[in-house]
Amino acid sequence: MTSVVRYDTRDSFTTVQAAGYFNSYAGTLQTGDTLEVFSTANVDGGFRAYQVSVSGAGVVTLTRHEAPRVSVQYFVTGGQLALGTVQYLRSPVRGRVADHRCVVQATDTSGGTLTVGVAGSPAMSGGVITVSNGAAPGTPFDSTPIAKNAANAITTGGVITVAPAGFTGDGTIAGEILIDPTT
């Protein structure tokens, strides 16, 4: 029979995942157990779940259970694009903004940028989408890579912003922001 085991620590997940971290628990943990780790580390604290395997030699190995990313979707009309109207979205989970992408719904002759951010945080590194001039409907665009740091951390109910710039306003865009949950 497998168990779900909770473990609280101040160590980072990098430390927790290191070889040998749980070897002293080899007699308590069993292969197939789920280990729920709650970390208060400033670097990458939060929650992660791991599948446990224990060798006969008492070596505990962890395999991370990845939580599915959460999608927050938005739609920007031509008028909102032209005016640079910031879109405000609420996050349904605690986590980190991980990706930003969109699809052109109606062509905007000028193109422009869509910049994602977390309200009340310093500017994120990455998350900017550049939509090319005259992109046809159905054309997908991905953001610049988003750095994993405090600027992209979001709380449950926290506000995510999408700021358009440079568009003339004759197009429309549907987009989504993906969040890696940490709670």
pLDDT digits (tens, 9 = 90+) for 7-54: 888 888 888 888 789 998 888 888 888 888 888 875 555 778 888 888
Domain map (residue ranges) of the chain? 4-65, 70-181
What percentage of the chain has pLDDT greater than the value 90?
39
pTM of the model as a whole: 0.67
The mean pLDDT of the chain is 87
- For residue 39, give both structure tokens: 């970390």
pLDDT of residue 20: 85
pLDDT in the model for residue 183: 47
pLDDT digits (tens, 9 = 90+) for 108-118: 888 999 999 99
CATH class for domain 70-181? Answer: mainly beta
pLDDT at 36: 84
Reply yes or no on whether the pLDDT at 60 is more than 70.
yes
Q: What is the CATH number of domain 4-65?
A: 2.40.240
CA distance 41 to 159: 23
The predicted pLDDT at position 45 comes to 58
- Please measure the distance between the N-terminal and C-terminal CA atoms of the chain and give it in whole angstroms: 26
Name the pairing type of β-strands 34-39 and 46-54: antiparallel
Please give the pLDDT value at position 43. 58
> For residue 1, what pLDDT is reported?
61
What average pLDDT does this structure show over 65-80? 87
pLDDT value of residue 54? 81
> CA–CA distance from 84 to each of 44, 101, 141, 169, 180 (Å)?
34, 18, 19, 9, 27
